[in-house]
Structure 1
Amino acid sequence: MIEALILGLVQGLTEFLPISSSAHLRIVGEFLPNAADPGAAFTAITQLGTETAVVVFFWRDIVRIVSHWFGSFTGRVPRNDPDARMGWLIIIGSVPIVVLGLLFQDEIETTFRSLWIVATMLIVFGVILGLADWSGRKVRTLDRLTYGHGLLFGIGQALALVPGVSRSGGTITVGLFLGYERAAAARYAFLLAIPAVFGSGLFQLVKSWGEPSVYSLVETGAATLVAFVVAILVIAFFMRWISKHSFLPFVIYRILLGAAIMVMLATGVISA
């Protein structure tokens, strides 16, 4: 139970920062007494807690988007209404991760969880995030988000199926390259993650029911609750941070962590 709670804390702290929560769960799991990969199912289920934090934090926005989206079908709301349009953008942006998640389900749960891959993705996508933050014009707001850009955001999110990329990091990186403001890219990234994370978490919950795993459902549930509480605080911090600061600290952290993991793998301290 203590191990599960530690992993829940890690999940809550890292889910919305562009440093990859799945990578951190994979890495931290190696240093706990069980010295085991928590598994894709544990990761997906605890993400339900962090994603519930998004729903709570952006509750008013979500209610408005959903109601206007449905209202656009009955004529109560114009079809070009910004919130109704955002509903379609979230749907379109969710397509890539659904398709790729189903196509590469086995690899996501096995091959992609190699720590060599995790470490490489931390470094490579850390550098790419840094380049995007440095070169992006950061002038576009969400009301200028096109359907084409929504799909590209979705592809960025889908890359996070590989631990080490980061769901928020991949999505925000695409947004920065497309010229969106940091806060706008992050806001859409958080909203875009809701269908994907809830879908993945519920799928893994049903799939893992009754199957043996490193942590029981009770322990996984406790970790999910901890992740929820911590994530609310992290979202509030992150949204304030990016309105005034660059992503450089996260880029440096990713590169250093990836390099440290590679050194430990090469010296036999941990196993891939």
Structure 2
Amino acid sequence: MSYFEAFALALIQGLTEFLPVSSSAHLILPSQLFGWQDQGLAFDVAVHVGTLAAVIIYFRKEVVTLLSAWWASIFKSEHNKESKLAWMIALATVPAALFGLLMKDVIEIYLRSMWVIATTTIIFGLLLWWVDRKAKQTEDEYQTGWKKALFIGIAQALAIIPGTSRSGATITAALYLGFTREAAARFSFLMSIPIITLAGSYLSLKLVMGSEPVHVGFLVVGIITSFLSAYLCIHLFLKIITKMGMTPFVIYRLLLGFGLLILLSTQ
């Protein structure tokens, strides 16, 4: 891997991690289209650290409030809307964590192909468009009950399939349940913190137990680039959906999906 590839992959990770366009799909595409080598575990850990830092720092006030309320609910039996939201985020993380552990190898072997990416990109793009048009948009994230949390959590679990998009799946599910666009996005972003932490921890453990060489320069580029691009992406995304809804991202998904199908059909 070159420094250019490290920068490009980290930029892709940062820009797509929180958009409803599938970061996993975009990270697979360079190797499929340009023959780039796999970036390796160490680099995967680096970009996870960058995007995790971005979402935590951007939502630092909410994170501190939710953690404090969650802690108080356990040790002081103090319950409020913040502690409830914290528990619902934790509950919503369970399906993805279990599905990831049980199905990761199957996904890696059978579903990391451009045909799968193209198909899921189109299907879930159309689903996002339909739900966004029909959404009631009457509730915020603090009105999330355990049934809604599990529903969104199952949607997040399905996003392990390349091309689906974790944020796309969770935002679609939240809109379907009546969340406003802003509330759906915030809940999705907050949900990303525990799941990215778990994924990063798993990759870090594999890295420590393995013997893969570590290139410090690539890691620094990966962390800084993914952090800056992810932070900017979150900020712009929240502004875009307020004014334009999900339409720009639906159009992008359809163009990408059909473009891939055309490319595949010519090979």
TM-based fold match above 0.5 = yes
TM-score (norm 1): 0.90
**Partner residue of 1:69?**
70
Q: Which amino acid aligns with 1:170?
A: A
Q: Deviations over 1:208-267 (max 9, x none)?
A: 344459x95652452232111111111111111112221111111101101111221222
Mapped to 2, the partners of 1:61 and 1:203 lie a distance apart of 25
Mapped to 2, the partners of 1:252 and 1:182 lie a distance apart of 17
Instruction: From the superposition, tell whether residues 93 and 64 of structure 1 become closer, same or farther in structure 2 (CA, over 3 Å).
Output: same
Q: Deviations over 1:99-135 (max 9, x none)?
A: 1001102123332211111111100000000011011
Mapped to 2, the partners of 1:115 and 1:41 lie a distance apart of 24
What is the aligned counterpart of 1:15 among 10, 14, 17? 17
1:43-122 mapped onto 2 (5 Å cutoff):
43=44, 45-75=46-76, 78-79=78-79, 81-122=80-121
Mapped to 2, the partners of 1:132 and 1:118 lie a distance apart of 21
Instruction: From the superposition, tell whether residues 217 and 94 of structure 1 become closer, same or farther in structure 2 (CA, over 3 Å).
Output: farther
- Post-superposition offset of 1:151: 0.9
Structure 2: state its 5+ residue gaps. none
**Contact 2:22 2:162 (C-alpha < 8 Å) held by counterparts:** yes
TM-score (norm 2): 0.92
- Aligned residue pairs: how many? 264
1:56-205 mapped onto 2 (5 Å cutoff):
56-75=57-76, 78-79=78-79, 81-205=80-204
Residue 208 in structure 1 maps to residue 210 in structure 2: no
Mapped to 2, the partners of 1:73 and 1:65 lie a distance apart of 12
Mapped to 1, the partners of 2:117 and 2:156 lie a distance apart of 16
SS state of the match for residue 18, structure 1? coil
Pairwise CA RMSD: 2.0
Mapped to 2, the partners of 1:40 and 1:120 lie a distance apart of 27
- Post-superposition offset of 1:142: 1.7
**Partner residue of 1:28?**
30
Q: Deviations over 1:8-34 (max 9, x none)?
A: 0111111111111111111133344x4
**Contact 1:9 1:230 (C-alpha < 8 Å) held by counterparts:** yes
**Partner residue of 1:266?**
265
Identity %: 38
- Post-superposition offset of 1:144: 1.4
Structure 1: state its 5+ residue gaps. none
Q: Which amino acid aligns with 1:62?
A: V
Runs of 4+ with >6 A deviation: none
